A and B are shown apart, each in its own frame.
Chain A
Amino acid sequence: MRAPVSWLRELVSIPADQDGRRIADALVRAGLEVETVETVGDGIEGELRIGRVESVEELSGFKKPIRWCQVHDGRAVRGIICGARNFSIGDLVVVALPGTTLPGGFTIGKRETYGHVSDGMLCSERELGLGDAHDGIITLEEGIASPGDDATSVLGIGDQILDIAVTPDRGYALSMRGLARELAIAYGVPFVDPGQVEADLPAPSAVRALVECSSDDMSACQLFTIRTIAVFDPSAPSPAWLQRRLQSCGMRPISLAVDVTNYVMLELGQPLHAFDANKLQGGIHVRRARHGERLTTLDHVERTLDIEDLVLADDRGVIGLAGTMGGLETEIDEHTRDIALEAAYFDDVVVARMARRHKLSSEASRRFERGVDRELAPYASARAAQLLLEFGGGIHVGLTGVEAPITTSAIGIDVLEPARIGGLDIAPEQAIALWQAVGCSVDGSEGLVQVLPPSWRPDLTDGVDLVEEVLRLVGYDQLPSTLPQSPAGHGLSAAQRARQLAGTILSARGAVEVLNYPFVADQELDDLRIHPDSIRRSRVKLANPMSEQQPWLRADLMPGLIAAARRNLSRGAQDMHVFEIGIVFQGSAAPISDRPSVEHRPDAATWTVLNESLPAQPLMAGGLMVGDLQLPGWWGEAKRYTWIDAVAAVESVAEGLGVTLTRTSASEDGFHPGRCAQFMHGALVIGVAGELHPGVLSAVSLPERACAWQINLSALIELAQQVRPAPALSTQPVAKEDVALLVPVAVPAADVAAALARGAGPLLESVRLFDVYRGPQVPEGLRSLAFALRFRALDRTLEASETALARQSAVDRAIKECGAQLRA
């Protein structure tokens, strides 16, 4: 909402020392967001004078037509060169005298051009910073000024305009009337509400039939009026001041009838619509649209109507969308002599739905959605008629209308409630005075009082709304600063600590955290060779994605990591380990058809259904490694990231959280089939790590041998021990035994180590694989695995015989379970 200060001052006596900036501050304190304060013609210095064109000589021989004009500026005749052609002899124009500076810092000089000395400039709106029009100079209507007058006051230069963002609860602030009331309260000055002043109209005269009206739906349209005006002069222009105000408020002047409806809407907040009464067939009827009906609206868009749409119709069909936009066919035009002026009250939700359904947000719909004054329509209709008759002539034929009974309900509130919620002292009289200032009537003076909000404040429905009115007008800067006595807390949960720890472990290993968008494309999943049945395949799709290519929500962190790595590669990075910890969406969403009541807590069953309709959203960690872990240098060769580093990333996180995972070989989608490990806890798969499939790497344009890993962090955190038992430390000497075994190549080393450990029994402290060998001394199909075993007892030095026995039983177990043979 753009509000000229000059207009506000006309409605309320703002102290003279308050400029636009200070007035804006006052509105901000009251809760209106003033986004900018502009000064009309900001930057103009020097004299702008009204002049009259006395003669025009057309100059030829130049690239464009040029005029050499003689202009009388009230004191003298000036010769001025002008490139515009939209004026003629006798017109009133705006002359910038030599020495005057225009917005942008351009100073007019007396200078020779096109063979003449131009003694000033004839100005366009754009040159003065008043508007966008630049296809011609400003010409003024006869009578509003004479040659020699100062043009700045005529043009409104120096006026300030506040641009205010109005929140959805404050429909009343979408009018000069509403803003003026706030300023009256802010400055403590009296306020005469222009929305409650009955305009003086001549008595109705039956020179033609009234346009009749009726309504089918008195709840969606509680008030509908049509005022008929006859023999109006369609050629009468809008007065200059009215046009200027519309422009200041960001609206384009069109014609007197349209301009007046817009002007009264800006002034009072009541949307109005003027129909050409002679284009109507019969009266105007408010009803719901019928199946298949269509309407071309004023914006020249043909719309197919929905049976929920509330429309205005005449005997032929639909002529407008209620409270949203009129139809093109019944539009006012340059021949319109009889006007049917609509002023109505439409339901906020009905209009909001319609505007959303047709993606049509108009000045009218914005106001109806936020709630228009239920009682304003007749006043606004009379005010508009007054202006139409004044400037366009015509005869007042009269008003017809239908109205549902007005229902009001007072709000009972303890007069001390604002003080209680604010945490500061507010006397009962002060609270009551502030409620009255915003237009409420208050019954009672202490304890429980009854507050009846005014018709223009449909947002005041609950006690807390009244509390806010008092607190905002007292001023939030008056609130004390106190701290509540919160109960002793619990600190971070184990899962939250574990999540932080995982991030710290990974970044301490040299990985860099990225936070990727969760939007993925089918192509990305195909490139990764993720099988349609895989849990890593997205199953939740957006109805309105940012890009049609990426409609899916990720079920896997890999696509985002690949995109991040590629972006870094394109920016010159070569080596990286990027990781992300984030939610993925697994399984599909089930539509929620039931919308629980908001009047009470949902019952347990409803709450369960609500939650179970959502996809599973586990927290995952994933990483991607490209290039070198260690660069080549004076210390030696480069060390590339390999599957080993991917495995180590997963295991360092698991070990940090106190979880031991078993690692087996796997063939996960997108990974190198021979270089992929999965991490298990019992039968549960917790993670995967390895080298990416060469085909995948070439499909996504990543360097060869890139590696990746992924962990279901939610599952891992579940397994983390909350209280870890302390180990028993033996101070007895350790006994070391090495074992070399020949094992079939297909038997995983981890299985052999596990068999040795199981066989060795409780005396075993550790088993470590220290050598893997395949070669001439080892038969084909076998490999040699050498393990170091350490034995120790808690309470005694082990006898050589005990160690030997334990070693033997370890080896026996490996022989039995893994087909191993002791290497000679």
Chain B
Amino acid sequence: MSGPNTQFDPKQVAALDGQAIEDMVQQAIDAIAGATSLSELKEVRLAHAGDRAPLALANREIGALAPAAKAEAGKRVGFARSRIKEALDARQDVLERERDIKVLLDEAVDVTVPVPGLPVGGRHPLTTLMERICDVFVAMGYDVAEGPEVEAEWINFDALNVPPDHPARTMQDTFYVEGSDSGIVLRTQTSPIQIRAMLEHPLPIYVVAPGRVFRTDELDATHTPVFHQVEGLAVDRNLTMADLKGTLDHFAAEMFGQGIVTRLRPSYFPFTEPSAELDVQCFVCRGDSVGNPDRPCRTCGSEGWIEWGGCGMVNPRVLAAVGIDSSQYRGFAFGMGIERTLMFRNGVTDMRDMVEGDLRFTAAFGLES
């Protein structure tokens, strides 16, 4: 505890007067404001807030003051030093932010240049279309059934009520496996899967069966010896042809848009009786093009309907061949070509595009069709 310094020769120290300190502060603040980079600011900090800074030197002189003046000078210098520190810190913040922004700006790239990713892959649209169809039927409680492509002739024909000399066998040009009367064919239709489903599944049966089928047609714009079908089969008590119609209407609406319906025309298939050709309403013109030459429709050829497939009630002879009692159970079945569906649904104009494996064709569809 210091007592009054009575021997002290009272005199005023120039560096500690108010104006001088204020000048030092002002010089410091000007220098701080003038610093345009962090390194400049570092020098300013050394000059105005370092050990050799004017204020630091002034501070040392406080000890020489009369005791009464010491406190006030100390206060004055302390306040000045804190003002400079604040200014330094504030400037430091600003310059650091500016530096950060500049770094990011310097790192900018042209994001529009091509990037070297993986090549564009794709699933074949016939595959994804079959999956889409299966999805619709799975939602209706159907299972997806499958079968072999090399098939017993008995399953492909006989069990489907196509006896050996039936004219229907010549309707389809069949690939036979070599070996005299091998009794083995490349399946001509997905219908043999119906026979397998009925022999292997418990009743009732609701199955949808996509698959590849084979007929001896030369490849051209509308034919291919290898193509795809999807087949549906339901066997249950009390099924009606109205149920078949309703199922097809629902399917058509799911595939082509709400409100699109189907039309049945009487026809003949050995495995169904009654049988029908199946047309779907044109989903492009919805029939507006019919008799309206000013608005022709390419999708349906201005017919209003598009031929889609065949259907009917399962012939009781087919049920007999798989041991299902037709007095208790009835069935309905339908089938359509996947290539044909893709052609009118997605506007494919040439069958060959679907079979030749051109990368450009498949890649255009990506992972869906």
Contact = CB atoms under 8 A, between A and B. Distances in A.
Nearest to A467: B274
Interface string A192-212: 000000000000000000000
Nearest to A348: B165
Interface stretch (B78-86, B100-108, B311-319, B343-351): B311-319
Contact of A421 (B121, B144, B241): B241
A476 B265 contact: yes
Contacts of B241: 421-423, 471, 476, 479
A543 interface: yes
A537 interface: no
Interface in A533-586: 540-546, 551, 553, 563-564, 567-568, 571, 573, 575-578, 581-583, 585
Nearest to A347: B165
A421 B226 contact: no
B222 to A, nearest CB: 15
* In the A-B complex, the 6 residue pairs with the closest CB atoms: A601-B323, A31-B266, A423-B240, A423-B242, A514-B357, A592-B183
Interface stretch (B2-10, B65-73, B111-119): B111-119
Given A421-B330, A509-B118, A510-B120, A28 B265 contact: yes
A490 B208 CA distance: 12
A344 interface: no
A301 interface: no
Question: Which residue, B138, B180, B243, has most C-beta atoms of chain A within 10 A?
Answer: B243
Contact of B165 (A349, A518, A600): A349
Contacts of A581: 127
A575 to B, nearest CB: 7
Contact of B206 (A489, A507, A592): A489
Interface in B117-161: 118-124, 126-127, 131, 134, 138, 140-144, 148-155, 158-159, 161
Interface in A413-428: 420-424
Interface stretch (A83-91, A166-174, A380-388, A690-698): A166-174
Contacts of A600: 320-321, 323
Interface of B: 113-116, 118-124, 126-127, 131, 134, 138, 140-144, 148-155, 158-159, 161, 163-168, 170-171, 175-184, 186, 199, 204, 206, 212, 216, 218, 225-226, 234, 236, 239-243, 245-247, 249-250, 261, 263-268, 270, 273-277, 313, 315-317, 320-323, 330, 354-360, 362-363, 367
16 contacts: A33-B277, A168-B270, A356-B170, A479-B245, A482-B245, A507-B122, A509-B118, A509-B121, A513-B123, A514-B124, A514-B362, A583-B212, A600-B321, A600-B323, A630-B116, A635-B115
Contacts, number: 294
B234 A542 contact: no
A481 B154 contact: no
A476 B268 contact: no
Interface stretch (A610-618, A722-730, A785-793): A610-618
Say whether chain B's binding surface is mostly helix, strand, loop, or mixed. mixed
A464 B316 contact: yes
B150 A615 contact: yes
A216 B313 CA distance: 41
B310 to A, nearest CB: 11
Contacts of A477: 263-264
A646 to B, nearest CB: 15
Nearest to B227: A515
A506 B121 contact: yes
Contact of B138 (A369, A492, A543): A492
Nearest to B200: A607
Count chain B CB atoms within 10 A of each CB in A503, A508, A551 and give the residue with the most: A503
Given A511-B121, A598-B317, A489 B151 contact: no
A515 B357 contact: yes
Contacts of A511: 121
Contacts of B149: 518, 583, 585, 617
Given A476-B265, A592-B153, 20 more contacts: A349-B165, A424-B242, A465-B273, A467-B273, A477-B263, A489-B138, A490-B143, A512-B121, A513-B127, A541-B178, A542-B178, A542-B186, A553-B150, A564-B356, A583-B149, A591-B180, A591-B181, A592-B182, A600-B320, A629-B118
A713 to B, nearest CB: 13
A145 to B, nearest CB: 38
A551 B181 CA distance: 17
A337 interface: no
B204 A476 contact: no
A468 B266 contact: yes
Nearest to A511: B121
A595 B152 CA distance: 10
B90 to A, nearest CB: 42
Given A168-B268, A589-B182, A607 B141 contact: no
Interface in A331-384: 348-349, 352-353, 356, 369-370
Interface in A24-55: 28-31, 33
A610 B155 contact: yes
B150 A589 contact: yes
A822 to B, nearest CB: 40
Contacts of B180: 591
B254 to A, nearest CB: 12
Nearest to A28: B265
Contacts of A509: 118, 121
Contact of B168 (A168, A480, A506, A617): A168
Contacts of B264: 476-477, 479
Contact of B148 (A424, A479, A508, A614): A614
